[in-house]
């Protein structure tokens, strides 16, 4: 496995780009008999993802010449050999092959390695010319009928390059008990340098390109920059990732026909920009191509299925304000096809647990929850949404009809073990998902939701420009008082989650890091909540072992 770089290396930007590219060309041209590890040719590391029982995606990017910088559209076509083995000595190869890296795909390489054994640890690497990549480790999923005793995921979202160092990735990479990392979106940010709130008003490192990313070249360059982060590289090389995009992989508050952070008069039509972001994402991320469709389902034996949702590509435009438009049944969060895929999959799931990778909060957070049976006059005369006033209509609170469809499916199917895993909101929450928030717990609960904090992206105290824990405790108390299904909320801290799934229970652990601008920030466990098999209400939990 690659060693974890020092703080000195973490804090340096890619200011030696020209020297690195030149060194990469020299290493690539080497004709030495024994290939040497080359961080220049393989400057963006290696990654794996989307594990199946018999297959896994392997990824890297090569820099064969100084001209072949990310986003350049230049550089020669080069053959890249991939190797897969059960030992990191690579004494005996299980599988191998050669693919061509070219400027057409920004010299990225993606291999769907198939014919593998289920539930198996593999090591992989790439060769190009005289250079060899770092070694990565990955796992295949168990066979569909396997009686899996335990499943453990790292869970992350919202990593802003300028906001701080990716210490959460470093701490997850130091663990040796994870089956995969689930990334719930905002893997990168599209803003121009200095345009997103950061600590002290100035980022510890600066986005490239410096302008807001719009073109295919822009998105490629930004992806490449993020993948130079040593903590990110280390975690990618340690375990497979299962990823979904949210909005910032394209533009803030994206929807099917546009985005809040997209001005057609200045930036042109939305469709070309969206297409550019999708192409760059497909090139630079370890996801399995599926005709442009990112939502998908992965299974871990008889224990769990994980449905990853795309909640940006098909949704209706967000409602401004808090009018009754949020209840319009013609509005959609998922689109019809994805909703049918999701509900059919949940209703027919053969596994003990149904996990949903969900980029924006599913549970209602309203001020206050209203009972439609007794507030019909208020909702009709004043225009208040039937369930109460939502504070964020970019979440499922802005698409209540789709949420009701999903809740009704869970109820009708008699499912008891549905768990939503959520990012986006830069804060930490543990909630019961109520049938009716105004009648909680009387009307019952149908699922559980665990929301992880941001890796570095600005949260409540930073967005408001106030000291940590000065204003947020009062906001947290208000949130739990008016939304009684919320069992835990913390609005200020950055960090990550660790999800543990067994036949008996599913448990989330929250870990917060210290100062996000400290490359050596420590992490500590803050809370744990679990839901038992067959239950739909969570309870505090002792630390995992």
Domains recognised in the chain with CATH numbers? 7-139 (2.60.40.380), 151-540 (3.60.21.70)
Confidence of residue 24 (pLDDT cuts 50, 70, 90): very low
d(CA 254, CA 311): 9
* pLDDT greater than 70 at residue 3: no
d(CA 417, CA 180): 20
Quick check: 402 and 488 in contact, CB under 8 A?
no
Q: Which residue has the higher pLDDT, 16 or 194?
A: 194
Share of the chain above pLDDT 90, in %: 80
Output the six-digit token pair for 347: 């209703």
The predicted model gives 369-383 an average pLDDT of 47
d(CA 243, CA 282): 11
Q: Which residue has the higher pLDDT, 464 or 261?
A: 261
Q: Which of 363-377, 422-436, 457-471, 517-531 has the lowest mean pLDDT?
A: 363-377
- pTM, two decimal places: 0.91
Confidence of residue 322 (pLDDT cuts 50, 70, 90): low
Output the six-digit token pair for 370: 């209203």
Q: Rounded mean pLDDT of the chain?
A: 90
Residue among 149, 29, 200 nearest 503 (CA): 149
* pLDDT greater than 50 at residue 84: yes
């Amino acid at each position: 496995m690659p060693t974890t770089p020092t703080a000195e290396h973490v804090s340096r930007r890619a200011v030696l780009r020209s020297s690195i590219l030149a060194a990469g060309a020299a290493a690539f041209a080497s004709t030495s008999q024994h290939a040497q590890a080359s961080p220049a040719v393989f400057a963006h590391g290696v990654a794996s993802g989307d594990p199946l029982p018999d297959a896994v995606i392997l990824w890297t990017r090569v820099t064969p010449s100084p001209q072949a910088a990310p986003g350049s559209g230049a550089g020669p076509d080069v053959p890249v050999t991939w190797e897969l083995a059960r030992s990191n000595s690579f004494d005996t190869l299980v599988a191998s092959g050669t693919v061509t890296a070219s400027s057409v795909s920004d010299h990225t390489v993606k291999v769907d390695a198939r014919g593998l054994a289920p539930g198996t640890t593999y090591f992989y690497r790439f060769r190009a010319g005289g250079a060899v990549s770092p070694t990565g480790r990955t796992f295949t999923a168990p066979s569909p009928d396997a009686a899996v005793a335990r499943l453990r995921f790292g869970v992350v979202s919202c990593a802003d390059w300028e906001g701080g160092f990716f210490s959460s990735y470093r701490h997850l990479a130091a663990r040796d008990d994870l089956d995969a990392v689930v990334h719930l979106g905002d893997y990168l940010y599209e803003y121009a340098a200095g345009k997103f709130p950061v600590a002290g008003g100035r980022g510890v490192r600066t986005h490239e390109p410096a302008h807001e990313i719009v073109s295919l070249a822009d998105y490629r360059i930004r992806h490449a920059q993020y993948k130079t982060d040593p903590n990110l590289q280390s975690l990618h090389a340690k375990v497979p990732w299962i990823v979904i995009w949210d909005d910032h992989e394209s533009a803030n508050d994206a929807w099917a026909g546009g985005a809040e952070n997209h001005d057609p008069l200045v930036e042109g039509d939305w469709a070309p920009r969206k297409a550019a972001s999708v192409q760059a994402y497909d090139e630079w991320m370890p996801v399995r191509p599926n005709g442009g469709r990112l939502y998908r389902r992965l299974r871990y034996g008889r224990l769990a299925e994980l449905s990853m949702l795309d909640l940006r590509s098909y949704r209706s435009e967000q409602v401004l304000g808090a009018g009754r438009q949020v209840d319009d049944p013609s509005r959609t969060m998922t689109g019809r096809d994805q909703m049918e895929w999701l509900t059919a999959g949940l209703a027919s799931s053969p596994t003990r647990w149904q996990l949903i990778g969900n980029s924006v909060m599913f549970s209602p957070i309203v001020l206050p929850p209203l009972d439609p049976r007794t507030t019909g006059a208020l909702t009709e005369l004043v225009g208040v949404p039937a369930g109460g006033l939502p504070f964020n209509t970019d979440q499922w609170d802005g698409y209540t009809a789709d949420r009701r469809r999903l809740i009704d499916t869970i109820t009708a199917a008699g499912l008891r073990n549905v768990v939503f895993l959520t990012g986006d909101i830069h804060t930490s929450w543990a909630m019961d998902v109520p049938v009716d928030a105004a009648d909680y717990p009387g009307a019952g609960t149908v699922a559980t939701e665990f929301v992880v904090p941001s890796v570095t992206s600005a949260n409540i105290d930073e967005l408001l420009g106030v000291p940590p824990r000065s204003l947020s405790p009062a906001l947290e108390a208000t949130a739990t008082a008016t939304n009684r299904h919320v069992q835990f909320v913390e609005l200020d801290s950055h960090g990550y989650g660790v999800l543990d799934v067994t036949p008996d229970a599913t448990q989330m652990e929250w870990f917060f890091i210290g100062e996000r601008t400290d490359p050596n920030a420590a992490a500590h466990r803050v809370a744990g909540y679990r839901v038992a098999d067959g239950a739909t209400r969570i309870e505090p939990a002792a630390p995992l072992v």
